[in-house]
Amino acid sequence: MSTAQYLKNRLPFLLVNVLCMVLLSVFLLLSGNSADSVFLILSVWVLILAAGLILSCIYRKREMDRLLAMTEQLSDRYLIAEVMKKPGRAEDQVYFRILKMAEKSMLEQVNAVRREQKEYREYIEQWIHEVKTPITAIRLQCENQRSDFSRELLAELEKVSQYTEQALYYARSEHAEKDYSIREIRLSDVVHQAIADNKYLLMQNHVAVEAEQIEDTVYSDEKWIRFILNQLIANAVKYRTEHPCIQIFSERRGDTVHLCVRDNGMGIPPEDLPRIFEKGFTGQNGRKRQNSTGLGLYLCRRLCGRLGIGICARSDESGGQGTEIVLSFRVDHFMRQVSD
Amino acid sequence: MREKILIIEDDPAIRNQLKTLLEGNGYLVEILSDFTSAAEQIKSFSPHLVLLDIGLPGISGFDICSQIRAFSDMPVVFVTSSNTDMDELNSIMLGGDAFITKPYNTAILLAKIASLLKKAYPISGEEAKDGMKLTWRGASLHPEKSTIEYNGQEAELTKNEVKILYCLFQHAGAICSRNDLIDYLWDSQLYIDDNALSVNVNRIREKLASLGLEDFIKTKYRQGYLI
């Protein structure tokens, strides 16, 4: 609250006071009082008026500042009417009522949007579960009648399942519900599963796969890691160059286990590298290829963040070295001792 | 002895295709399509392993699993399209042996079934050895030692070579296409491309020739290999 504005608002009141002073002085002078006594009365008046004005200004300012601070501390500021005291002044009470009304309509809106969002999310999850049944049926049909045609179909089907999984994890990652269980997993198992998930895609694109040196075990959630690896493998296939090759290996460095996924694809330009994990970022490669969503790596980083795994990317575009994504798991000595 | 597998699944397309797949891999397969008296039917089928969907009309797969556990320890594999953590936890709590989510990878599904059956119905050492050995036209393949034997002579084989020969022996007398071979190798976690397959087959031919087996693996142009 600014003091100048407060005084400005008091202007009519002050003018009335001045008018009263003038009238009173005229009346007192006409009825034979000395100028000295009139001056004395007026000075006392002005003193009392000024003191009252200053005190009430300080009091109001303190009150308003407290209210402001309270509002700023609230995480949902539209709820301030619930926390503040009901004011004593007549106008303030009207404003209070308006605040209450605004809050109520805001709450109704927020709840409606939340409910809609929840229903939509549930519908998406439901839909994903339902679409998995026909995907499974087509997959089994193709595997039972293997031909060049069914192999191509299977490769496309792997992309379809990949996109459905992505939608599922996107729907899930947006809210804080816990849907993972940490247990000891052998990295080689997860890697081989992820390769099996992309088998026809990799074979169709003649991608050479090396996944021999994976000996470490980590504590994490198997299906999330598998999802992350699926995204990384799909990216490596999408941004491949001639004679594509994917190397997956793990190594232990001190207190962390690194799982590296390295490809010899087109690589990432250095100016794009810091932003590849951002939501919706497609970069130069994405613009070249047209079918980049900017979601895959964003989801990877989000899931890694929730699982406490580090994720970073290295790329050397000039040397044609492709891209390397490293997942780093912390080795938990306590868990290891307990399980030994 | 062929193991009996019971499929409890409400989607007709999936259960029929699953039946074809499992029968193609040497299992006896029964399908349960009426879920009202599941426990009695399972008892009368007495399968070695049950593939169980969770979302069934009228009853949940979890209920069927606890009914099974009341009378048997047979391996139960949950196959489901919902992969929430709760479902997985429930399936473990109720005594399920594995939890596989749709759309499942057939290689992973088959490997899981094989390992569960092996664990639940162990075969004795002698039998296991004989069961592993494959013989065709006088040559015997020993996958457990990764060697091939002919006329009392043995040759060492690499991991890739054993798998290639194993696949050829299993289809002995029939043409095995290059794509099928590569498929099989990938399912065995050996990621080999077309060129590497040719190199491996040539190396096998050299080893067989050193044992006195000439022209054991024939190349059928544009079709594949035949032994």
**pLDDT of A182:** 84
Domain segments of chain B: what residues?
4-120, 128-226
**Which secondary structure element, helix H or strand E, spans residue B129, and what is its range?**
helix B125-132
What domains sit in chain A, N to C, each tagged with a CATH number? Answer: 3-104 (no CATH), 185-339 (3.30.565.10)
Q: What is the pTM of this model?
A: 0.80
Average pLDDT, chain A: 88
Instruction: Give A247-304 pLDDT, tens digit per residue.
Output: 999 998 888 999 999 988 888 888 888 888 998 888 887 777 767 788 889 999 988 9
Beta strands in chain A (DSSP E): 183-186, 208-210, 217-220, 245-253, 256-263, 310-316, 322-330
Cβ neighbour number for residue A34 with a 10 Å cutoff? 10
Instruction: Give A114-154 pLDDT, tens digit per residue.
Output: 999 989 988 988 899 889 989 999 999 998 888 889 989 99
3-state secondary structure of A22: helix
Q: What is the DSSP letter of A283?
A: H
**pLDDT of A106:** 92
Could you give the angle at the alpha carbon of A192 between the alpha carbons of A186 and A198, nearest 5°?
145
**pLDDT of A261:** 93
- Cα of B45 vs its chain's centroid, Å: 21
Instruction: Tell whether B82 lies on the interface with A, counting CB pairs under 8 A.
Output: yes
- Beta-carbon separation of A199 and B186 below 8 A: yes
Judged by CB atoms within 8 Å, which residues 287-306 of A form the interface with B? none
For B168-199, letters b (16+ CB in 10 Å) and e give bbebeeeebbbbebbbbbbbbbbbbbeeebee
Tokens linked to A35: 């100028």
Where residue B127 falls among pLDDT bands split at 50, 70, 90? low
- Widest CA span of chain A, in angstroms? 123
Tell me which chain A residues have a C-beta less than 8 angstroms from the C-beta of B108. Answer: 193, 196
**pLDDT of B22:** 92
Q: Are strands B76-80 and B98-101 parallel, antiparallel or unpaired?
A: parallel
Question: B128-226 in CATH: which number?
Answer: 1.10.10.10
* N-to-C CA span, chain B: 26
Instruction: Give A200-213 pLDDT, tens digit per residue.
Output: 999 889 899 998 88
- Beta-carbon separation of A197 and B105 below 8 A: yes
Checking if the pLDDT of A318 tops 90, the result is no
**Thinking of the domain B4-120, which architecture would CATH place it in?**
3-Layer(aba) Sandwich (3.40)
Place of tokens 């996107």: A170
**pLDDT of A282:** 84
Mutation for testing the A interface, residue in B19, B81, B184, B197 having most A CBs under 10 Å: B81
Tell me which chain A residues have a C-beta less than 8 angstroms from the C-beta of B187. Answer: 196, 199
- Beta-carbon separation of B101 and A223 below 8 A: yes
Of B101, B179, B193, which is closest to A208 when you measure between CB atoms?
B193
Checking if the pLDDT of B1 tops 80, the result is no
Contact present, A239 and A323 (Cβ < 8 Å): yes
Residues 6+ apart with CB under 8 A from A155: A200, A201, A203, A204
Mean pLDDT of B64-74: 88
Instruction: Give A62-107 pLDDT, tens digit per residue.
Output: 999 999 999 999 888 888 888 888 888 898 999 999 999 999 999 9
What are the residues facing B55 on neighbouring strands? B60
Distance CA B188, CA B70 (A): 36
Q: Which residue of B has its CA nearest to A244?
A: B193
